């Protein structure tokens, strides 16, 4: 006898609520596999968790994994980071888009499915969450205006690299002007001529109280902004001058500070490419 999956409810759920394509929310998760477990972690995440713990869930419609080889880890700054301690921590970054207006629906499912995966022995515990946060989309700034892929395509388009930047306002009241400065001044001035085709900007949201215990609560939900720079070139080959000095620019604005600037390459699905270059 087949298991009752309450499939009759799916027809009811499909008829209600938003179902647009705009990336209204994101999951951004930076993880450090424990030494000696790099290959096992990569295979678990890619073969099982990327799908069962993410892409198979309702309203999570695009995803991409990224990796920081040791040479890229050594480009990160500032050395004293409130995010990564040490600043090189976090070899793997995963990014996912969630349909606008479906955050609560997705969160109810993801908490339940991760409880089930943990119960079924399908969670790899030899890892540390350096930064794991669900985020609300604030703005996207494009280098080439209307030409090129939109942010909805960013996790499917074959970008050659990504830079994760986390900025922190000094107070919650300063975050709106910091966001406005990024959107109207800093990014429009920084993008022309750069290898970055677009930058998405998100603000973190608190994780639910019933989250899995191995994921720590998000810090800076009232002061922090997360930027994803999508690159058309290897970040190691274009780091200088495009991605050095971002901390100086933010500090000079008087609106906040940079807590992390970290470059990544896209993983090669189905392989252990780059795993031998993490340490």
Strand 127-142 and strand 224-231: pairing? unpaired
Distance CA 259, CA 22 (A): 28
Q: What is the pLDDT of residue 216?
A: 63
The pLDDT of residue 9 is above 50 = yes
Percentages helix, strand, coil for the chain, rounded to the nearest 5?
Answer: 30, 30, 40
- Percent residues over pLDDT 90 in the chain: 89
Which of helix, strand or coil describes residue 78?
A: coil
Cβ 176 vs Cβ 256: under 8 Å = no
DSSP 45: I
Q: Give this prediction's pTM.
A: 0.95
- The C-alpha angle 63, 65, 71, rounded to 5 degrees, equals 155
Reading the block at residue 205, the tokens are: 């949201």
Question: pLDDT, tens digit, for every residue of 127-142?
Answer: 999 999 999 999 999 9
Residues facing residue 168 across a β-bridge: 224, 257
Which residues contact residue 192 at a Cβ distance below 8 angstroms, ignoring those fewer than 6 apart?
143
Closest CA to 262 of 247, 252, 272: 247
Mean pLDDT of the chain: 94
Binning pLDDT at 50, 70 and 90, where does residue 1 land?
Answer: very low
Question: pLDDT, tens digit, for every residue of 71-108?
Answer: 999 999 999 999 999 999 999 999 999 999 999 999 99
């Amino acid at each position: 006898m087949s298991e009752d999956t309450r499939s009759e409810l799916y027809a009811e759920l499909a008829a209600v609520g938003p179902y647009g394509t705009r990336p209204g929310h994101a999951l951004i998760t930076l993880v450090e596999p424990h030494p000696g477990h790099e290959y096992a972690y990569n295979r678990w995440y890619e073969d099982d968790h990327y799908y069962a713990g993410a892409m198979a869930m309702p309203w999570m419609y695009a995803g991409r994994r990224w990796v920081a080889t040791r040479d890229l880890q050594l480009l990160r700054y500032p050395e004293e980071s409130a995010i990564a301690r040490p600043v090189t921590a976090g070899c793997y970054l995963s990014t996912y888009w969630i349909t606008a207006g479906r955050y609560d629906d997705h969160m109810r499912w993801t908490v339940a499915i991760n409880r089930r995966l943990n119960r079924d022995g399908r969670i790899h515990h030899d890892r540390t969450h350096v930064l794991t946060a669900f985020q609300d989309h604030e703005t996207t700034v494009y280098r080439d205006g209307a030409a090129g892929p939109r942010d909805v395509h960013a996790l499917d388009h074959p970008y050659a690299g990504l830079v994760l930047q986390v900025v922190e306002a000094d107070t919650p009241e300063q975050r709106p002007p910091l966001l406005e400065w990024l959107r109207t001044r800093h990014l429009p001035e920084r993008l022309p001529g750069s290898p970055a085709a677009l930058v998405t900007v998100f603000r973190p949201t608190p994780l639910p109280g019933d989250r899995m215990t191995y994921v720590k609560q998000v810090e800076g939900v009232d002061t922090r902004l997360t930027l994803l720079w999508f690159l058309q070139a290897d970040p190691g080959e274009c780091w200088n001058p495009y991605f050095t000095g971002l901390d100086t620019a933010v500090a000079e604005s008087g609106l906040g500070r940079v807590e992390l600037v970290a470059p990544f390459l896209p993983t090669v699905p189905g392989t252990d490419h780059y795993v031998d270059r993490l340490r």
